[in-house]
Structure 1
Amino acid sequence: MQFIQVETAPDLDDQNVPAGTRLVVTDQFNAGDGPTDDPVTAFRLALTRAAGAMMAEGAMPPHLSRMILCLPDIGVLQNRLIDYDLAFRETLAGNFPEISVVVDASLKGPEVALSAVVPPAGDPDAKVYGDFTQAEVNFQYSPRAQAPDHEKYFELWRVSGPAYQKNRRAEVWFGETPGQSFDLFMPEGVANPPLHLFIHGGYWQALDKRNHAHMADAMLKAGIAVAMVNYDLMPEVDLAEIIRQCRAAVARAHDVAGDYGYDRNRMTVSGHSAGGHLSGALACTDWTEFREDLPADLLKGSVPISGLFDLEPLSKTGMQRVFRFTAEDIAVLSPINMTPAVKIPVILSVGGLESPEFHRQSALFAEHMRRHGCQVSEAVMEGHHHFSIVEALTDPAAPLTSAIIQLAKTC
């Protein structure tokens, strides 16, 4: 999250916009009746209110042009910039506008105003991907639109994840930038346990390993070590770099196994949503090509959850402004186009309440991996949507959780 501190707030109405477009400017919003004790929470609430007003005028996050953030003290923003960044991403993903910060000591908390430039409306009946119109393909790939109660899961992850993160044995770095580390959790009283790596989702633009730390508990109690993997986020890095970072995380986990006491010969991986894409890419990785001293069967199993394996439809959504997928990206970075180097077992899972496109994505990857001789099975999660399915990892009796535990312990 990059910003410019200014003395006076710029006039959001004073923007040169292309002919045919429409400028939307919101009022200045504070946290309202929400809690304001924590400045980042107050910022999230103010931003959410401003975003809601913007969307009510037909402007979506990809249309953002400018943001004014008024604060009583800039010190908190500077000291907790990562937290502000994640709060913005949780609300508006990677659609960062030009951000002006104004300090006003008379304020009780943060206030936010937004502007957006809305392009001309196209033909609402035009097909942009298969039989889907623009609105339809956006809905198919918008888990929040499909799950009206999604905010309660984000709230849960903001609280439960960081609280559980305190139990980590270590934070292990595999690169020099802020996102390149994983949190290692070790089970009590288990010698040389298997290691399971989990990769978070957020459309490669949002969330953090700390939001998911509590999801390690069931696996730890089953005697499995867990690594919660982070990676740098879009738009600061592209998807090719994110895949490279996740491969580096696995390689690092192999290298430091002896330092922490888990079995480097029994490593499995799972990931949710964008993390499902990444765990699919890891399942297809030629590890000897990535690094010649690594074993070809470095990973003994992969569990993509609600994954994205064909990038082409995503390039037709409003998120393409951040993704910027080229035809070459789609060809090279879609797991359905990657050839697995070994016959790795794969378990796929999609919530029963998720959109047809999410189900189609997993079916495509299942067919692809079977065609290359991999054993593919499914963990059926009826009654779950895109967010509840990953939270179900806290339940050892859930079919998905028990499948991961079984894979990790028998690989």
Structure 2
Amino acid sequence: MHFTQATDAPNLKEQDTPAGGRLVVTDVFDAGADMPDDPVTAYRLALTRAAGAVMAQGAMPPHLSRMVLWLPDIGVLQDRLIDYDLAFRETLAGNFPAITVVEDRDLTGPKIALSAVVPPAGDPDAKVYGDFTQAEINFQYSPRAQAPDHDKYFELWRLSGPAYQKNRVAEVWFGETPGQSFDLFLPDGVENPPLHLFIHGGYWQALDKRNHAHMADAMLKAGIAVAMVNYDLMPDVDLSEILRQCRAAVARAYDVAADYGYDRDRLTVSGHSAGGHLSGALACTDWADFRDDLPADLLKGAVPISGLFDLEPLSKTGMQPVFRFTADDIAGLSPINMKPVTAIPVVLSVGSLESPEFHRQSALFADHMRAHGCPVSEAVMEGHHHFSIVEALTDPAVPLTAAIIDLAKNS
């Protein structure tokens, strides 16, 4: 989250707009009547109100142009910049506008105003991908639009994940930037357990390893060590760098196994949504090409959950301004175009309530992996949508969690 500090706020109404476009400027919003004690929570609430006002006027997050943030103490922002950054991403993903911060010591909490430049409207009936119009392809790849109760999951992950994160035995770094680490959890009383790595989702531009820490509990109780993997987020880095970081995380997990007492020859991986893409790509990685001292079968199994394996339709959505996928990215970073070098077992899972496109994505990857000799199975998750399916990892009895435990213990 990059910002400029100023003494006075810029006039948001003084912006250029393209011919046929329009400028949207919100009122100034605070956190509401009940000001939370936590400044980041207050910021999130004010931002949510301002974002709602933008969208009520027909602008979408990719249209954001400027944001003014008034704070009583800019030092809090500087001290907790990562928390403010993640709160923005949770609300508006990686659609960062130009941000101006104004310190006002007379305030009791944050205030926010947003502006957006809405481009000229296109033909609403034009097909942009297959038989999908722009609105239709956006909906297919918008899990929040498909799950009206998604807010409760984000609230849960803000609370339960960080609370459970305190049980980690180590934070293991595999790079120098803030996102390049994983939290390691070890089961009690188990000698040389297998290690399962989990990669969070958020369309490569939101969320954090700490949001999902509590999902390690069921695996730990089954005698499996767990690594919750982080990575730097878009738009600060592109997808090729994110994938490189995740490969580095797996390599680092292999390297430090003896230091922490888990079995480096029994590594498996899963990931949700964007993490499903990354876990699918890891399943197809030529590890000797990545680093010549790594075994070809470094990973013994992969469980992509609600994954994204063909990037082309995503490049047609409203998220493309953050993704910035090129033709080379689509060809080189789509797991359906990657050839696995071993017959790695793969378990795929998609919630029954997810969109047809999410189901098609996993079916494509299943066919691709089978065509290359990999055993592929499915963990059926009836009654689950894009967010409830990953929260279900807390329950060892559901098919998805049971499949991960079985894969890890028998690797």
Category of TM-score, reference length = shorter chain: over 0.9
> Which moved further from structure 2: 31-40 or 2-11?
31-40
List, as ranges, runs of 4+ consecutive aligned residues in structure 1 with deviation greater than 4 Å. Answer: none
* Contact 1:34/1:42 (8 A) holds in 2: no
Partner-residue secondary structure (3-state), 1:41: helix
Corresponding position of 2:157: 157
Q: AA paired with 1:404? A: I
Per-residue CA distance 1:161-198 (angstroms, 9 max, x = gap)? 00000000000000000000000000000000000000
Corresponding position of 2:209: 209
Per-residue CA distance 1:201-256 (angstroms, 9 max, x = gap)? 00000000000000000000000000000000000100000000000000000000
2:286 matches 1:263:
no
Corresponding position of 1:350: 350
- In 2, the alpha carbon distance for the partners of 1:348 and 1:16 equals 47
Corresponding position of 2:24: 24
Q: Could you tell me the TM-score, scaled by structure 2's length?
A: 1.00
Instruction: Tell me by how many angstroms 1:36 deviates.
Output: 1.5
Corresponding position of 1:309: 309
2:308 matches 1:280:
no
2:216 matches 1:231:
no
Partner-residue secondary structure (3-state), 2:76: helix
Segments of structure 2 that go 5 or more residues without pairing to the other structure are none
Partner-residue secondary structure (3-state), 1:67: strand
Quick one: structure 1 residues 127 and 401, their matched pair in 2 at CA, closer, same or farther if it must change by over 3 Å?
Answer: same
Q: AA paired with 2:366? A: A
2:93 matches 1:93:
yes
2:402 matches 1:402:
yes
2:147 matches 1:147:
yes
- In 1, the alpha carbon distance for the partners of 2:68 and 2:54 equals 14
Corresponding position of 1:135: 135
- In 2, the alpha carbon distance for the partners of 1:140 and 1:178 equals 32
- In 1, the alpha carbon distance for the partners of 2:295 and 2:395 equals 33
Corresponding position of 2:179: 179
Per-residue CA distance 1:328-356 (angstroms, 9 max, x = gap)? 10000000000001000000000000000
Q: AA paired with 2:28? A: Q
- In 2, the alpha carbon distance for the partners of 1:94 and 1:17 equals 22
Quick one: structure 1 residues 352 and 105, their matched pair in 2 at CA, closer, same or farther if it must change by over 3 Å?
Answer: same
Partner-residue secondary structure (3-state), 1:187: coil
* Contact 1:314/1:320 (8 A) holds in 2: yes
Corresponding position of 1:69: 69
Corresponding position of 1:383: 383
Per-residue CA distance 1:239-298 (angstroms, 9 max, x = gap)? 000000000000000000000000000000000000000000000000011001000000
Per-residue CA distance 1:138-160 (angstroms, 9 max, x = gap)? 00000000000000000000000
Q: Could you tell me the TM-score, scaled by structure 1's length?
A: 1.00
Corresponding position of 1:116: 116
Identical pairs, percent: 84
Instruction: Tell me by how many angstroms 1:105 deviates.
Output: 1.1
Q: AA paired with 1:148? A: P
Aligned residue pair count: 411
Instruction: Tell me by how many angstroms 1:35 deviates.
Output: 4.6
* Contact 2:23/2:118 (8 A) holds in 1: yes
* Contact 2:35/2:109 (8 A) holds in 1: no
Partner-residue secondary structure (3-state), 2:102: strand
Corresponding position of 2:367: 367
- In 2, the alpha carbon distance for the partners of 1:99 and 1:278 equals 30
What is the RMSD of the two structures over their aligned residues, measured on CA atoms? 0.5
Q: AA paired with 1:144? A: R
Partner-residue secondary structure (3-state), 2:280: helix
- In 1, the alpha carbon distance for the partners of 2:237 and 2:279 equals 18
Instruction: Tell me by how many angstroms 1:33 deviates.
Output: 3.3
- In 1, the alpha carbon distance for the partners of 2:138 and 2:35 equals 32
* Contact 2:19/2:120 (8 A) holds in 1: no
Partner-residue secondary structure (3-state), 1:271: strand
- In 1, the alpha carbon distance for the partners of 2:70 and 2:35 equals 18
Corresponding position of 1:250: 250
Q: AA paired with 1:182? A: F
